[in-house]
Structure 1
Amino acid sequence: MKELIQEIRELIRSARQTVIRSVDLIQVLTNFEIGRRIVEHEQGGAKRAAYGKGLLKELSMALTAEFGRGFSRSNLQNMRKFYLAYSERLSEKCQTSSGILPFSEKSQTSSGNLEVGGLPGTWRTVSAGFKSPFKLSWSQYVFLISIDNSDERSFYEIEATGGGWTLPELKRQFNSGLYERLALSRDKERMKQLACEGQLLTRTEDLLKEPYVLEFLGLDEKAKYSESDLESAIIDKLETFLLELGKGFLFEARQKRFTFDEEHFFVDLVFYNRLLRCYVLIDLKIGKLSHGDLGQMQMYVNYFDRFVKLTNEAPTVGILLCKKKHDALVEITLPKEANIHAREYQLYLPDKELLRRKLREWGKEVDK
């Protein structure tokens, strides 16, 4: 009986989630179509032509009177902007299992079809194999179209879709300058990949950021805190910390103990990255980074490589997450092939404009 109840419970939950996703899809497609019609009526399809606010006001009043909330002038402006941001990429068409159907095409309702509506008189149907070009909710697209840089907007759309980000998670990653932080650590070619394919993990350097932003821990930048306090705060906010680390990270242990030559050693945090298929060891340092810290991490990495990782897994990665790193010390202490990296963290959101200026300056240097 318990198994039957559990099966039915999962069935109902799955059905409800499907309904929610279908409603989101219909809303996004409908808003795209409304935006298209506003653009074509007001501009004749010309993107840069001036459009009359009077029409949107009148349209808002008429739609609100008949359909209720959701058709304010600002929301209609968002629909228009949404269409302009995505019309070129979609070529005003969507993909189905049986071919390409323009958004304006009408067809007869039949069994097994999904009905997608726009404004009155524009209802149409698409086959059950309908593949939507949109994967996120309307509220997420409203946020995305506020991003002027098309490459940056594309990156966040790809990452939000692949990572299943909620709207608060999407906003947090944007506010933390994730795109800029990743772009600054890549060459020109790999930076372009961010806009087309998102963050791809094919090598160790792809999972590193500079800096790591830990504002969600709630620690005061000016207050005194210990490495133990920092570690405890990370564990308390582990889900958000995993989001900051990036794709493919799985948490394994805190204060992972291993014994060597009858002496116990403890690694602060142990993760596994399933995309790179390797262990990632993190040691937390709030003071000045020393050569002893680097040597200790080298020992941790050596131990995992020799006694923990499997033969078909990639070499272990060591990250020293510190308040202030010392590049010259790292360079002179570790061999070039060492898979150990010192990275800074900060307890506040970065200045996005400063990151953007750095990215522009970096681009000019590369182009020289």
Structure 2
Amino acid sequence: MTNHPSPDEAARRPHLGRRVLTRIDPFIVGMLCAVLLASFLPARGDAAEALGYLVLVAVGWLFFLYGVRLPTSDAFAAVRDWKLHGTVLGVTFVAFPLLGLASQLLAPAVIPVDLARGVLFLTLLPSTVQASIAFTSIARGNVAGAVVAASFSNLAGVVVTPLLVGLLLGGAVGFSADSIVKIGLQLLAPFVAGQLLRPWLAPWVLRHKRLTTVTDRGSVLLVVYSAFSHGVVDGIWTSVSFGSVVALVVISAVLLTIVLSLTTFLGHRLGFSRADRVVLLMCGSKKSLATGVPIATVLLPAATLGYMVLPLMIFHQLQLVVCSVIARRLGEQADPEPVALSPAPAA
């Protein structure tokens, strides 16, 4: 989850989302480096304990920033277009989880059980913010609607995702009363604090976008390193084969194809305008890596983190590549004039 403009600002900036993946995103490169570092130099002993405290602070900082950045008033404006935003939420928190449950049938024949649970976990996450808005702008959709839909998805996700994890993964990953306390202290409390302080801090955050982007992405990279350190110590690379990784890529592609087809069908079936169909397509098909990694760190046992994060990382990159192509084609159909291309955002 990263900075995004208000609906009015987004409407005045038609070039906001004209970004297409012409190269690998630096954030993805950073995560791959974090995984490699953890694979060869995992944190152990006292270093692992110290890293745990740093991750605790990093997660709190991330959700505090999310609270400061998310425009609550814009998100609650969703009630004025309940049909569109209700459909986005339905795809995000109902259709996606059902597909995640169906994917469990593939274990252990196709992928290990732990990786299958990681696929289910990614389907329980909220949508991205910046990428959804950017791709909606590329496709000449309703940018203001995308801001509201993505914001509302993330506001709901702070509560809904932990509930879904407890309901669908609780028995498998040891979700307990302690998890609920951790949610309150590490996720909700910083988020609420950010929302309360938003009137005073949001202008400063908007003026220092580069600083806050570096700190929140750095926090995510720290959490990724920590997650894979635990995984390496517990033998993730001895139980995940190259074939399993290939299978994850195929499963992610199938999952994304189904959701893109579903959102396209629903957009026409429910009679949305072209601009709103783009919102449903782009916001309904995304899952947030920047939100998912810290949530996994808070909710799930350390021994399972690597397995949970790996499917999310694969799906995240795939959704950016595919949706950038789709968005560009939709934009060219709506406006044949050529546009300047640059990399799409990572979250």
Interval containing the TM-score (normalised by the shorter chain): under 0.3
More strand by percentage: 1
TM-score (norm 1): 0.20
Say which one has the larger Rg: 1
More helix by percentage: 2
TM-score (norm 2): 0.20
Instruction: Identify the structure with bigger relative contact order (alpha carbons < 8 Å, sequence gap 6+).
Output: 2
